[in-house]
Structure 1
Amino acid sequence: MKRDAHIHSPFCPHGTKDEFELYIEKAIKNGFTDISFTEHAPAPEGFIDTVPTRDSFLDVNSLEPYINKLRQLKKQYASDISINIGLEFDYIEGYEKATARMLNEIGPTLDDSILSVHFLLFENKYTCIDFSAESFIEFSGQVGSIEYVYELYYKTLQASILADLGKYKSKRIGHPTLIHKFQHAHGFKVDDHDFIMSTLQLMKEHRYEMDLNSAGLAKEYCLEPYPPQRYVTTAKDMGIPLVFGSDAHRVQDLHQYYEKVYTDS
């Protein structure tokens, strides 16, 4: 099975309007047998998006059209490729109950899902840590250091693994080293080995899959997958299931670096 299980869509507020069919046709042409569209889920009830563009989440009114369109395409292309209807849910500290309610409502309609951390809580304020290099560096000044931003990220990521979000909680953790996205912008060499290893250990103990996310290789300030290649090998040796995801927000990026990630690991 050749699989890409982290793909966005024309419904993404911060993506492109590239049509579903363009993604699907490219996947078929490239020999993929299984794909998952995992659009950003709506924000949990009560959470207010803190990025300036207010475009982190799928509008709740777009959820039903998104699912209905994919149901149609799932049938249309059934003889050519397996299409999974999915969402990428955010773990947001303090919104566990609201997220669980949303999962219980939406979960039965999905074939696949991812649980990711994009927002960190510090002094009662939420910051999106992958919005821009400038906002990341500004946030590090607020919390006191780049190192503490990393620590806060991994503690939040580990909390996402341990959180009780109900029976429809995703069992795949998205881009587990997303905190590296701006590592060449801030220029600090942070030793986060112990945090990564303890996160992998939790994933193993609680039987989570890992989103082997190639998107970081295309980011000018990252230039490595999430997680870095050496930890891909470590995760594999630990028996953690690895699921490739290109995290494409446009057709051009679909399956990006698939061969490199799998050849090197």
Structure 2
Amino acid sequence: MKKDGHIHTPFCPHGSNDSFEKYIEKAIAHNFTEITFTEHAPLPNSFMDPTPNQNSGMDPNSLLPYLEKLSYTKKQYENHIIINIGLEIDYISGYEKETRNFLDEVGPLLDDAILSVHFLQYNNHYTCVDFSEEVYLQFAREIGSVKDMYHLYYETVRQSIDADLGTYKPKRIGHPTLIHKFQHALDTQIDDDLLIKELLLYMKEKGYEMDLNSAGLSKTLCKEPYPPFHIIDFAKSIHLPYVFGSDAHTARDLHQHYNVIFP
């Protein structure tokens, strides 16, 4: 059974206009039996998106059309492929209450969801740490060191696991080593294996599953999946549940590197 559990859509404000049907037809052609569309959920109303275009999350006015379109499309293809209606939910430290309220409202309409960390809080402001190489390097300088940045990222992911986000809180942690996205822009490489393994063990202990995310292999300054191959082996060794996710923002990238991850 082949599943891709992390797919974006034409409703992504920083993605492509490729139609749902284009993704679905490609998935069927590549013998996938199940997919989950996980568009970036709208960010909390009181949160100021720090990216230049403020387009990290879906426009709140697009949420209902997104859900309605997926519900219709799911029925259209029900004899050909399992389609799950999902969202990628941002965990943002300090915005747990707003996120819980959102999930209480939309959760009953979802089949699946991912909980991800993109924003890190430091000195009373937030940075989208995976936005660009320049932002990444500047944040490392601001916080003191790359090692400190890595520690903050993994600690924030751990906070997302501990956070009370209500009944409909996602149980899959998105791209758990996203902090590696621009690692080859650094002067030296940081050995964070112990931090990652501790995080995965904590996910296992708390009953979470991992988004085994292949997108990093397409990033020229990352060159590895999230998490890297040897950590995937570790995840398997501790029997941490995982779901492959291509994190595709275009139909072209759908299922990217699946055959590399699962040769």
Same fold (TM over 0.5): yes
The whole-number CA distance in structure 1 between the counterparts of 2:43 and 2:194 is: 31
The whole-number CA distance in structure 1 between the counterparts of 2:12 and 2:190 is: 32
The whole-number CA distance in structure 1 between the counterparts of 2:243 and 2:226 is: 12
Paired position in structure 2 for 1:6: 6
Please tell me whether residue 137 in structure 1 is matched to residue 137 in structure 2.
yes
RMSD: 0.7
Deviation at 1:237, TM superposition (A): 1.2
Q: Deviations over 1:157-202 (max 9, x none)?
A: 1111111111100000000000000000123211111210110111
Q: Deviations over 1:44-69 (max 9, x none)?
A: 23111000111100010000000000
Identity, % of aligned pairs? 59
The question of whether the paired residues in 2 share the 8 Å contact of 1:2 and 1:31 is answered with yes
Paired position in structure 2 for 1:208: 208
Paired position in structure 1 for 2:183: 183
The whole-number CA distance in structure 2 between the counterparts of 1:58 and 1:45 is: 12
The one-letter code matched in structure 2 to 1:120 is L
Deviation at 1:227, TM superposition (A): 0.1
The whole-number CA distance in structure 2 between the counterparts of 1:161 and 1:6 is: 19
Please tell me whether residue 52 in structure 1 is matched to residue 69 in structure 2.
no
The whole-number CA distance in structure 2 between the counterparts of 1:95 and 1:198 is: 25
The whole-number CA distance in structure 2 between the counterparts of 1:30 and 1:166 is: 36
Please tell me whether residue 164 in structure 1 is matched to residue 164 in structure 2.
yes
Paired position in structure 1 for 2:30: 30
Stretch moving more, 125-134 or 188-197 = 188-197
The whole-number CA distance in structure 1 between the counterparts of 2:187 and 2:17 is: 34
Paired position in structure 2 for 1:225: 225
The whole-number CA distance in structure 1 between the counterparts of 2:60 and 2:53 is: 17
Paired position in structure 2 for 1:234: 234
2:182 counterpart SS class = helix
Structure 2 portions without partners, runs of 5+: none
The one-letter code matched in structure 2 to 1:31 is N
Structure 1 portions without partners, runs of 5+: none
The question of whether the paired residues in 2 share the 8 Å contact of 1:43 and 1:58 is answered with yes
The one-letter code matched in structure 1 to 2:249 is H
Q: Deviations over 1:234-262 (max 9, x none)?
A: 11111111100000000110000001111
TM superposition score normalised by structure 2: 0.99
The one-letter code matched in structure 1 to 2:41 is A
Deviation at 1:136, TM superposition (A): 0.6
Q: Deviations over 1:17-63 (max 9, x none)?
A: 01110000000000000000000000023111000111100010000
Paired position in structure 2 for 1:112: 112
Paired position in structure 1 for 2:40: 40
Please tell me whether residue 91 in structure 1 is matched to residue 69 in structure 2.
no
Moved over 6 A (4+): none
TM superposition score normalised by structure 1: 0.98
The one-letter code matched in structure 2 to 1:107 is G
The whole-number CA distance in structure 2 between the counterparts of 1:229 and 1:149 is: 22
The whole-number CA distance in structure 2 between the counterparts of 1:165 and 1:16 is: 30
1:221 counterpart SS class = coil
The whole-number CA distance in structure 2 between the counterparts of 1:187 and 1:10 is: 37
The question of whether the paired residues in 2 share the 8 Å contact of 1:146 and 1:188 is answered with no
Name the count of aligned residue pairs: 263
The whole-number CA distance in structure 2 between the counterparts of 1:143 and 1:61 is: 35
Paired position in structure 2 for 1:246: 246
1:223 counterpart SS class = coil
Q: Deviations over 1:186-233 (max 9, x none)?
A: 232111112101101110101111000000000000000000011111
1:6 counterpart SS class = strand
The whole-number CA distance in structure 2 between the counterparts of 1:52 and 1:24 is: 31
Q: Deviations over 1:128-162 (max 9, x none)?
A: 00000011111111111111110100000111111
The one-letter code matched in structure 2 to 1:256 is Q
The one-letter code matched in structure 1 to 2:233 is T
